[in-house]
Structure formats: structure tokens, C-alpha cells
Amino acid sequence: MIQYKTIALIITTGILAVLPQFLNPYWVDVLNNIGIYAILGLSLNIIVGHTGLFNLGHASFFAVGAYTAAILNTQYEIPVLWLIPVCGLSAGLFALIVARPIIHLRGDYLCIVTIGVNEIVRIALINNVFGLTGGSNGIFGIDRPNVFGMTLRTPMEFYYLILAFGAVTIFLFRQLEYSRFGRALNYLREDETAAQGSGINTAHYKLAAFVVGAVWAGMVGNIYAAKMTIISPESFTFWESVIIFVIVILGGSGSIPGVILGAVLVVGLPELFRDLANARMLVFGAAMVGMMIFRTQGLLPQRPRKYTLPQGRRNGEGGE
């Protein structure tokens, strides 16, 4: 079983590594967008999928990261990729401040507050808060990222950057999922009272989930800013939060492959339908409605955890 998985992993990595050689820059750039949204989806997955907190304001954390990168890069000329940890920290800090007073809210109430936070961030950016965000013009002239003396320009070069970042994300989030921390989050999602009864500090874990998700969204914001070289408030609207949320729910909340599949569909399908011109968003919407009717749990939902019992017990119980 493990052997199969390793082989599958090696084959997938191999395919992903050589894929851009066979595609034109447009499709590579579509893959880049899918990658960015997949990582955003994975970061939201910690909050929505694992902990069960409805967050419809994820684009605000993404925005904080992107603007941190843009401001520090254009004002102090710090190389943009060095700022990845700073962007993560600023987004995490922002999430901590925002989420601390509201974390005890349940379900839809929390959801409404996060929508509000998203709008506040967007309008603050438009109003050129502290004279730093450039108002509705946004910030332009962000440097291209530099990796080991090579400046990344083409979609293919960004592809490998995003692929590497995505691989690290998947690895770390998988570790998180199977850790004590991940189990605690799932426990919270399934039954908060029982979790509390078992000695889980609910407020602490919920807040931690929020901050971890936000830190990751902030780091993606950095890569997004570096890739676009211009960011403006239009990129961080409520609609963006909805898209990230849809990726998680549609693909299967709590499951890493599910979220990646969700990103492929939500970001990739409108591009596949480009030839339908005006009807493309219509077809896209219809496809989403169809999928939600026939698979409410998401396309690849989280599988139940499996643990092999120790050898001795197993015999005593008479097998599985």
C-alpha cells in the first residue's frame, strides 16, 4: 500500500516537473493560477475544513500579505522573496488581532463578521490607508523575484516557484493533519462540547487554526504580488473570498487532494470555457450547481482516519 503511494507520488511529481515543457505559456500561466488558488485553498482548509469555522474573509489575509510585500518592496527595495516570512507574520498578526474578539462566535455569526472584515480591508485599501496603499490605483512596479541570481519573468519560471512552494505546503499541512494539533482541530469540528470535556482548549485551538491559515495566505500574497508586479484592491474583493471558499467546499473540505481538485475546477474551468465567449461564466455556474447537487460532500472528501492496531491486540480482537 505504502509502496503504491510512493510510486504514485513519484510519478505525479515527475509529470508536474516536466509538464510546462509541453504547454504554451498561456496554459502554464493557467497552471500558475491554479497553483496559487490551490495553496490559498489549502490554507483556508485548515480553518474551514479541519476546524469547521466559516471564514468568508480569507481574501483579506491574502491582501495583507500582498500589500506588505508590495509596500516594503517598493519603498525600501527589499527583495520580494525575502519578504515571504514578513508577509506571513503580518497576515498572522492581523488575523490574531481580528479573530481574538470574535473567535467564540458560532457558525454563521462568525461568517458574517469575516465578510465584514474583508470589506473593511478592501475599503481601507481603496481609501489609501496611512497613505501607503496607493488607493484604488493600487501599487505598481513591484520587483520581479530573484532566485539564486536568476530573475523570474516567464510563466514557466514562476511555475517552478509555485510548484516548490506548493510542495512544501502540502508536506507541512499533511504533517499537521496527522499531528495531535490536527486531531484536536477535527475534534472541535465534530463536537465542540465533547472536545472541551476532553480537555481541549477550544478558544486557543480555534485561534491557532485561524492564524496558521492566515500566515499561509499572507505568504501566497507575497508570491501573487511578485508575479503580477501590480496589485490593486480589485484583486481582494469579497468575490475572491467566495472563490477560495468554493474551492474548499467543492473539492472536499478537510482533504488535501480534494482542495487541489477544487482549485483545478474553479480556476481551470472558466479558462477551458474561454471559447464560449459570453456564455463561459454561465456554463461554469451551471457546472458548479450540478456538482453541488450530485456530490454535496465535495468531490474528494476527507477520508476517515485509519490506524493499524498493535499486533498483539489485533490477534486478541480477532482481526479487523
Contacts of 129 (CB under 8 A, 6+ apart): none
Judged by CB under 8 A, the residue of 6, 13, 137, 175 near other proteins is 137
Q: Which grid coordinates belong to 136?
A: 484604488
C-alpha cell, 1: 500500500
The least CB distance from residue 241 to other proteins, in Å, is 14
Cα–Cα distance, 63 to 59 (Å, whole number): 6
Alpha-carbon distance of 156 to 226, in angstroms, equals 14
Farthest-apart Cα atoms in the chain, separation: 70
Out of 197, 277, 307, 319, the residue judged to bind other proteins by CB under 8 A? 277
Contact window for other proteins (CB under 8 A) among 180-188, 199-207, 224-232, 245-253: 224-232
Euclidean distance between CA atoms 268 and 36, whole angstroms: 12
Binding mask 103-132 for other proteins (x = CB under 8 A): -----------------------xx-----
C-beta of 196: minimal distance to other proteins in Å?
42
Report CA torsion sign: 184, 190, 191, 194: negative
Which of residues 79, 271, 287, 288 is near other proteins by CB under 8 A?
271
Output 247 or 256, the one with its CB closest to other proteins: 247
Part of the chain binding other proteins (CB under 8 A), chosen from 58-66, 106-114, 133-141, 193-201: 133-141
| Window 153-182: contact mask with other proteins (x via CB under 8 A) | xxx---------------------------
Contact between residue 72 and residue 139 where contact means Cβ atoms under 8 Å apart = no
DSSP 300: S
Contact criterion met (CB below 8 Å) for 125 and 236: yes
Identify which of residues 235 and 255 has a Cβ nearer to other proteins in the complex: 235
Among the listed residues 120, 194, 281, 286, the single contact to other proteins using CB under 8 A: 281
Judged by CB under 8 A, which of 35, 41, 88, 138 binds other proteins? 138
Check binding of 221 to other proteins (CB under 8 A): no
- 124, 230, 246, 269: which one contacts other proteins (CB under 8 A)? 230
Q: Tell the residue number behind the cell numbers 469575516, with chain if given.
A: 114
Look at residues 75, 58, 79, 46 and name the one whose alpha carbon lies nearest to residue 218.
58
CB 248 within 8 A of CB 262: yes
Residues between 75 and 94 with contacts to other proteins, criterion CB under 8 A: none
Rounded to whole angstroms, the Cα distance separating 71 from 77 reads 9
The reply to whether 288 sits near other proteins by the rule CB under 8 A is no
The nearer residue to other proteins, 100 or 274, going by C-beta atoms, is 274
The angle subtended at Cα 210 by Cα 206 and Cα 211, nearest 5°, is: 115
Site for other proteins in 7-46 (CB under 8 A): 24-26, 29-30, 33
Q: Quick check: 302 binds other proteins (CB under 8 A)?
A: no
Those residues with Cβ within 8 angstroms of residue 23's Cβ, 6 or more apart along the chain or in another chain? 31
- Paired with 31 in beta bridges are none
Contact window for other proteins (CB under 8 A) among 38-46, 85-93, 112-120, 135-143: 135-143
Judged by the rule CB under 8 A, the positions of this chain that interact with other proteins are: 24-26, 29-30, 33, 126-127, 135-138, 140, 153-155, 228-232, 234-235, 271, 274, 277-278, 280-281
